[in-house]
Amino acid sequence: MALTKAPSANTVPVTPPRGRARKPRKQLTWNTLHSLKGFLFTLPFVIGFFAVFLIPFVYALIQSVFAVQKSGTGFGPAETVFVGLDNFFQAGTDPVFWASMLRVFLFACVQIPVMLGLSLLMALLLDAMTGRWTKVFRIGLLVPHMIPGIVAALIWLYLYSPRLGPLTKAGDLFGLNINFFGIDLLFFSIGNLLTWGAIGFNMLIIYSSLRAVPRDLFEAARLDGATEGRIAWSIKIPYVRGTLVLTGMLSIIGMLQIFNEPLVFRTTSPETVTSNFTPIMMIFNQAFTSGNYNYAAALSVLLAVIVGVVSAFFYKLTNRPQA
């Protein structure tokens, strides 16, 4: 079987197509045709990518250098005029935009390390667990990942609610008057909700790369008298470092576009969660409430650039010691 296949496979480029006999150029045409076919397979995606990613981005760039202006007296019809980089200058000094950026940035600095730390701890515990119950835990810990983000926000909104949820009542039991929607606790409330939704998935990613650590390393370490904690610290955690960088980066990108959770919380506490609470909320607000599409487009472009720079910086920073 292998005998029949091997020679025929080798002859592919040489075998002349029936009825045609050209020697040197034939191989070239075959290759060209072959390449073309390969390209055709990628074509639907490439067209779609242009339509959904590149053209909108270019379109946003074009939109961002225009603005809708009322004519001098303010009575005539509004007209779209070219304003150059004015929208970007405005965005650069817009205190509302930068306040929302700073808010999300500070929030990310606390929530992402806590969330990743808990995910790592969970993965380490699950990795150390043996026996039948491992499977139960593995599925149980993934339950939050099966809940759509909006629904998770709804559940926690009700859990926090003083009227319906058990949490405020539990606080009353200890004589604490907890308001989960107050300005003091709001970040904790949203952070907890995000952490709850994300640890399962991140745990799974870290856990899969933990399972790839050669098991005999642990045996050897145990023989040398290392405790389980020491094994986790000195073998397992260094081994999953790359995975932690990856999950950290994905979390940062996700955090910069946070939208759903604050939006849901805004329904109960519109005073604390303002309409410009996060950058995406502000863009959404500019576009659909104020109808200021050009400025919203400029903010989108600016935010995309910031996210790109932050990701690249984070990647460089965390990869340097290894390289």
Partner 1 sequence: MTTTDQVTTQTAQIALEERGRARLRQPRAKRQKKHDDDSPTGTEVSRSSRILVTAGLVLFLVYSVAPVWWLIVSATKNQTDLVTTSGLWFADFNLWENLTAIFAYQDGIFIRWTLNSLLYAGVGSLVGMVISLACGYGLARFEFTGKKAIMAMVVGAFLIPYAMLTLPLYLLFSQIGLVDTIWAVLIPTFISPFSVYLSKVYVEGAIPPELLEAARIDGAGEFRIFVTIVLRMLGSGAATVFLLAFIASWNGFFLPLTMLQGSDKWTMTLGLYNWLTQSQVNAGSGIDFTSLVIAGSLLSVIPLAAIMLAMQRFWKSGVSLGALK
Rounded CA gap, 253 and 307, in Å? 7
Report the C-alpha gap between 84 and 91 in whole angstroms. Answer: 13
Nearer to partner 1, 70 or 230 (CB): 230
Assess 67 for contact with partner 1 (CB under 8 A). Answer: no
CA-CA-CA-CA torsion sign (259, 262, 266, 272)? negative
Which two tokens mark 200?
């399962």
Q: Where are the alpha helices (DSSP H) in 2-85?
A: 2-11, 24-49, 55-64
Residues 75-94 that bind partner 1 (CB under 8 A): none
Whose tokens are 């050669």? That residue is 214
Nearer to partner 1, 71 or 135 (CB): 135
What is the size of the binding site for partner 1 (CB under 8 A)? 113
Rule CB under 8 A: is residue 147 a binding residue for partner 1?
yes
Work out whether 40 is an interface residue with partner 1 (CB under 8 A).
yes
The binder of partner 1 chosen from 190, 256, 273, 282 (CB under 8 A)? 256
199 forms part of the interface with partner 1 (CB under 8 A): yes
Question: Which of 99, 185, 235, 304: binder of partner 1 (CB under 8 A)?
Answer: 304
293 and 65 in contact (C-beta within 8 Å)?
Answer: no
First to last CA, the chain: 46
Would you count residue 172 as binding partner 1 (CB under 8 A)? no
- Select from 79-87, 95-103, 109-117, 127-135 the region that touches partner 1 (CB under 8 A): 127-135
Based on the shown chain and the rule CB under 8 A, indicate whether residue 273 belongs to the binding site for partner 1: no
CA atoms of 39 and 35, how far apart (whole Å): 6
DSSP 270-303: TTTS-TTSSHHHHHHHHHHTS--HHHHHHHHHHH
Q: How long is the chain?
A: 323
> Is residue 69 classed as helix, strand or coil in its secondary structure?
strand
User: Which amino acid, one-letter code, is at 224?
Assistant: D
Contacts (CB under 8 A) with partner 1, residues 93-122: 118, 121-122
> For partner 1, which is the closer residue by CB, 176 or 223?
223
Q: Is residue 189 close enough to count as binding partner 1 by CB under 8 A? A: no
Does the protein bind partner 1 through residue 274 (CB under 8 A)? Answer: no
For partner 1, give the closer residue by CB, 141 or 178: 141
Q: Which is nearer to partner 1, 114 or 205 (CB)?
A: 205
Give, as ranges, the residues between 202 and 241 that touch partner 1 (CB under 8 A).
204-206, 208-209, 211-212, 215, 218-219, 222-223, 227-229
Within the chain, strands assigned E span 66-69, 79-82
Shorter beta-carbon distance to partner 1: residue 185 or 245: 245
**Window of 67-75, 78-86, 94-102, 196-204 that interacts with partner 1 by CB under 8 A:** 196-204
